[in-house]
Structure 1
Amino acid sequence: MRYMKLGKSDLQVPTIAVGCMRINELSTADAERLVQTALEGGVNFFDHADIYGGGTCEELFAEAIHMNSTVREKIILQSKCGIRKGMFDFSKEHILEAVDGSLKRLKTDYLDVLLLHRPDALVEPEEVAEAFDKLYSSGKVRNFGVSNQNPMQIQLLEKFLHQPIIANQLQLSITNATMISAGLHVNMADDTAVSRDGSVLDFCRLHDITVQPWSPFQYGFFEGVFLNNDKFPKLNAAIDKIAANYEVSNTTIALAWILRHPAHMQPVTGTMNADRLKDCMKAADIYLTREEWYEIYCAAGNVLP
């Protein structure tokens, strides 16, 4: 497993993160197998959120990994907060309450990283700063980031924060690559040229904010996976051909496509299948050629200007 620096922090993290959004669908035994598969492969970074399974995902994870002080020293825990039923909430009160809840469920005294989950239209950045200061000074959270935020939203927060934003979790896959394609169609008279995120990928690279792609195998907003999907025959043919050349699975190549980008992104897997997780981890050892990367990009229906 390759490792990388997470944003401006001192954290050295694996290039693959294990997303735990659906871990509550597993039995305790299967959850243990998933976690141990990750650790044996050198992946010790686990991504959570307080809303995943209504908190049951964090609880089951702590049980599956047999959380104690010795275990805790060997892993990196990231969780997210800010989504409530029918609303988003970045108030100081909610952030502090949410973190305490996550810590209790994860059976730990601190989070390595806390992300604000989705932008709150009613955000008061001064309150966020007060919450972060209290969490940082108390030792409950060591690093902070955001999720699904554009450059101006990040800059608004940073105007008041005393800690750097080290990560931004964003949707990205071969079929959901607008943050990349918009940069290839600059000044073109077509819809692809529209920057829908304020050039967030370039912004994050310029400001040493690690992009953490979520749903790296999904198309649409949770419509399904593109791998082995009849809706994407050209894409799957291209991926399968390259996978055969490297003697790996199509899962490995789909994730290697993201890792090939020079932004040094840290994709968050969502699989609950231990064997498929092994395929994901193999992507860290694959470095696609420029020709292979563009072949896959175009096979997904992306057009070069």
Structure 2
Amino acid sequence: MTASPETHRLLYGCMGLGGDWDDTPYGSADVERAEAAIEAALDSGITVFDHADIYRHGKAEAVFGEVLGRAQGLREKIVIQTKCGIRLGDSVRPGIYDLRGETILRRVQESLERLRTDVIDVLLLHRPDPLADPQEVAAALTSLHRQGLVRRFGVSNMGAPAIRELQDHLDLPLVANQLEMSLARRDWLEAGVLVNTAAAADNGFPLGTLEYCRKNDVRLQAWGALAQGRYTGRPRTPDDERTAQLIATLAEAKNTTPETVLLWWLQRHPAHIAPVIGSTHPARIRACADAAGREPDLSHAEWYELWLTARGNPLP
């Protein structure tokens, strides 16, 4: 099997696979689109595939499992990561978070069946559940590991205090924390910069989370890493336009793509952030290949220029 996701520079996010965001069955065209996206990711050097049980109401996992069943030998070449902990709302009840032990065990079994595999390489807890008992959560994760159903564990959208509390009850190390991070979503970066300024109170990102993850070998994964295309095709503001032009200029100078430059900006951070790309378009997936195969080629000055241009304001 391929190396663990902690050693990979880039992940492919499978949220867009499986058709519409409803409970209607997926069709053969959805399988073909998923197959094309997975092939593009593999061609680009990406071998870690990120899922969640709720993506497309389970259809993302199911269509991936169908592709996996068709491709002999593929399972041994890839890392499958999925998440649990969110219950989607419907016409009767609102969406909630649910990390009760019995729910974790059931959701993992359902994911295994949809993915058509006998083991999940990495399971992330999708969102923090305020009612979760960390000792009960840890017991469920330990049981999954002992049964050989899950190899490693991590979290998603969690700050340092929540990670620390869970780790205190868990002998197995938490290996990943997936957060929204991009050149457009910079609160994770600016939380430490805005200390002792009036703007600090409005930041909201839990201070110390990056430092905790770096110290404890919890790999940071960045969802939304391409910023929904606002710097590579869909600018929304004058600052976006200026940032997009700078990215394009740097890409041309470095013989790569704008998507790669955008991902390099994250990867250049000393926390060794691993971006998650979620496009379903093969051409755009392949445009990220240099972020999987090359070291981030951004100087100190170039990195800051990108940050300040996107920020639109000088540093405090």
TM-score, normalized by length of structure 2?
0.87
Quote the residue 1:62 is aligned against.
Answer: 65
Give the Cα separation in 2 of the matches to 1:68 and 1:127: 38
Residue among 241, 249, 264 paired with 1:241: 249
The alpha-carbon deviation at position 6 of structure 1 amounts to: 4.5
Tell me if structure 2 keeps the 8 A contact 1:186–1:193: no
Q: Secondary structure at the match of 2:46?
A: coil
RMSD over aligned CA atoms reads: 2.0
> Runs ≥4 in structure 1, deviation > 4 angstroms?
3-7, 192-195
Aligned-pair identity in percent equals: 38
Matched, 1:225 2:235: no
Going from structure 1 to structure 2, the CA distance change for 1:88 and 1:259 (only over 3 Å counts) comes to: same
Supply the AA of the counterpart residue of 2:218.
I
Supply the AA of the counterpart residue of 1:268.
V
Give the Cα separation in 1 of the matches to 2:3 and 2:182: 20
Quote the residue 2:264 is aligned against.
Answer: 256
TM-score, normalized by length of structure 1?
0.90
Q: Secondary structure at the match of 1:239?
A: helix
Deviations 1:205-257 (A, max 9, x none): 111100000001227xxxx7343314112211211111121122211111111
Give the Cα separation in 1 of the matches to 2:72 and 2:113: 14
Tell me if structure 2 keeps the 8 A contact 1:144–1:165: yes
Residue among 188, 191, 194 paired with 1:179: 188
Q: Secondary structure at the match of 2:80?
A: strand
Going from structure 1 to structure 2, the CA distance change for 1:32 and 1:57 (only over 3 Å counts) comes to: same
Give the Cα separation in 2 of the matches to 1:183 and 1:202: 10
Deviations 1:87-119 (A, max 9, x none): 101101100000000000000000000000001
Q: Secondary structure at the match of 1:197?
A: coil
Matched, 1:196 2:196: no
Match runs of 1:97-112 below 5 Å: 97-112=106-121
Quote the residue 1:161 is aligned against.
Answer: 170
Match runs of 1:123-138 below 5 Å: 123-138=132-147
Q: Secondary structure at the match of 2:264?
A: helix
Deviations 1:96-145 (A, max 9, x none): 00000000000000000000000101010111011011100000001000
The alpha-carbon deviation at position 37 of structure 1 amounts to: 1.9
Matched, 1:272 2:277: no
Quote the residue 1:52 is aligned against.
Answer: 55
Quote the residue 2:314 is aligned against.
Answer: 303
The alpha-carbon deviation at position 193 of structure 1 amounts to: 8.0
Residue among 122, 128, 131 paired with 2:131: 122
Quote the residue 1:210 is aligned against.
Answer: 219
Tell me if structure 2 keeps the 8 A contact 1:182–1:192: no
Give the Cα separation in 2 of the matches to 1:47 and 1:67: 19
Give the Cα separation in 1 of the matches to 2:257 and 2:201: 30
